[in-house]
Amino acid sequence: MTARPPELKRVVLIGFSATGKSVLAPYVAERLGWRVVDLDVEIEREAGRPIPAIFEREGEAGFRAREREAVREAAQIDGAVIASGGGVWLDPENRAALAEQGFVITLEARPSTILARYAATEQGRPEVRPLLAGADPRRRVESLKAQRQPFYALADLTLHTDEPEIGELVEEIVAAVERGAGRALDSDSRLRAMREGPGVAPPPVTDFGPDVACVVDAGASRYPVYTGWDLLGRLGEIFDRLGLSRRVFLIADGAVIEGHGETAAQTLRDSGRQVFSYRVEPGEASKSLECLAELYAWLAERRAERSDVILALGGGVTTDLAGTAAATYLRGMAMVHAPTTMLGMVDAAIGGKVAVDLPAGKNLVGAFYQPRAVICDLTTLATLPRRELRSGYAEVIKHALIREPQMLDELERHAVTLLNPAAARANAAAAEIIADMIRRNQRIKARVVSADEREADVRAILNYGHTLGHAIEAVTGFRELLHGEAVAIGLVAAAEIGHAMGLIDESLLTRHRTLLEHFGLPVRTPAPLDAGALLEAMSRDKKVVGGRQRWVLLESAGAALVRDDVPPSVVLEAIDAVASVSRR
């Protein structure tokens, strides 16, 4: 036990994330003979859920309120070493509570050190810290650190944690407490400066509110993905929070416009907005230049302005058609996606890829255009045709195969619940299983999109199963199979190729088939298809580079890679395995 000034009640460790606050606090507490208080741990204990779930359910404001309460309680303890979250010290109320009878130490580290520590602690974890999700994490760390630095500089001591061992750092902290705490606490100007702050505004924080499953950070665009039950009834509140226009152009799938569309329109009108509604005929045929031209004409007749909002309500077809219109009409209008299908919620609506089809192929005319928000009301899944629901799970299974293999077991275990959202709605546990599965898949998509907005690199892995899947859709005229059904067959074909090339074993190939069949998805085409026609369709695919077909394959569950050296004979064998083909 170490001597301390009698008026000193606490040592407070502040600083940027991954600078060592939670690591060092227990050692310092042991040396001082005090109690350790990790504020993030206390917040999670009190809330009964992890911090990401608090943000999801209560929003930024709810978390900060819990944080202030945790600070207030910690400040009542006589003899504590407090490890604070990176943003705690930005709040003047928190600073006043912690600095009064507290010795405050900023832990500092270089961005390279912070990123290396992130990489080491995140290995094997499905959830990646938001700071690592963007295309340039170093720039994000540097920018946020620079904004917070004037606040961290108010501390009594700054200690660099890049190089020294833990033992050396602990001894340095203890020596600083013995040497300087009494003098610091005697200074009236010190406490006043901490309360008043550095004279600059803290970094702006956008509070997107509750029910945010994830945030997509695509460089210039940063937007929330809301996911929960009965969210269409809260559209006005969400639009207000996001500062969206008073005029909304609702573009809705004909299958949902009379039910969910009316709910959406009414809640927006109740919030004082003017709503215009447009019906999109269900089916891939609506993703055409002709239908896009008709939509342009409708917007022009109503004198849509760039500041107005296009709200896309429906599945992937509506998302693509409305998104292409938003990206191009008046050179860009504000866009909000409200997907009503499983496919739309976990894939199509997230990431800003919008396009229409040409007779030559799928999604050949389009853009990368990020929305202002994605709003997923899980209640809409209860009215989704069962075949459509099953189709959407092909993308969920794909995500598990390329990014989160532990999800495969959960999909098998909870298939009955996941395929019955209408029944699950009345059961809190079942409802949460569905919500959690969708949110996790949205986070996978958001992480990949944030790291590679325009599919230049890592985002290509999201095309697992799509190379042959898109070709099957094109050859069958986009009429015989739903998108997810074609992707399911494409997943098996990709697994066949991976197995033939010695990348994956027989058990993983078999698991592709059994899991897809477990969700009622096809693993072969319902009728024979011509191999030449499929190869021709694949040659027009966007993933062809320099005339070479690029295939997304697996090395193992959760480890995807892109190859452009697949022998034609292996491709033909894979096609034969899933398409019962005839050959010219």
Q: Which residues are catalytic?
A: 331, 353, 395, 445, 455, 459, 463, 466, 470, 483
The whole-angstrom separation of Cα 369 and Cα 315 is: 17
Burial (CB count within 10 angstroms: exposed 0-12, middle 13-18, buried 19+), residue 195 = middle
Say which amino acid occupies 415.
A
Burial (CB count within 10 angstroms: exposed 0-12, middle 13-18, buried 19+), residue 68 = middle
The whole-angstrom separation of Cα 345 and Cα 248 is: 21
Q: Hey, which residues does 248 pair with through a beta bridge?
A: 275, 309
What letter does residue 521 receive in the DSSP assignment?
Answer: -
SS (H, E, C) 410-429: HHHHCHHHHCCHHHHCCCHH
Give the other-Cβ count within 10 Å of 172's Cβ: 16
Buried-exposed string 22-37: b where 16+ CB fall within 10 A, e elsewhere:
bbbbebbbebbebebb
| Residue showing tokens 């897809």 | 516
The whole-angstrom separation of Cα 275 and Cα 265 is: 6
Q: Which of 386, 448, 451 is nearest to 419 (CA)?
A: 386
The whole-angstrom separation of Cα 525 and Cα 489 is: 7
What letter does residue 540 receive in the DSSP assignment?
Answer: T
The whole-angstrom separation of Cα 14 and Cα 20 is: 9
What letter does residue 548 receive in the DSSP assignment?
Answer: B
- Contact indicator for 497, 552 with CB cutoff of 8 Å: no
Element (H, E) at 336: strand 334-339
What letter does residue 231 receive in the DSSP assignment?
Answer: G
Element (H, E) at 438: helix 428-451
Ramachandran angles phi, psi of 386, nearest 5°: -60, -35
81's tokens:
């070493």
The whole-angstrom separation of Cα 138 and Cα 132 is: 8
51's tokens:
């911090």
355's tokens:
């396009």
CA angle 543, 545, 551 (to 5 degrees): 45
| Residue showing tokens 């608090």 | 54
The whole-angstrom separation of Cα 508 and Cα 39 is: 43
Residue 109, classed as helix, strand or coil, is coil
CA distances from 275 to 187, 210, 239, 251, 333 (A): 60, 25, 13, 10, 15
Q: Reduced to 3 DSSP states, what percent helix, strand and coil does the chain have, rounded to the nearest 5? A: 55, 15, 30
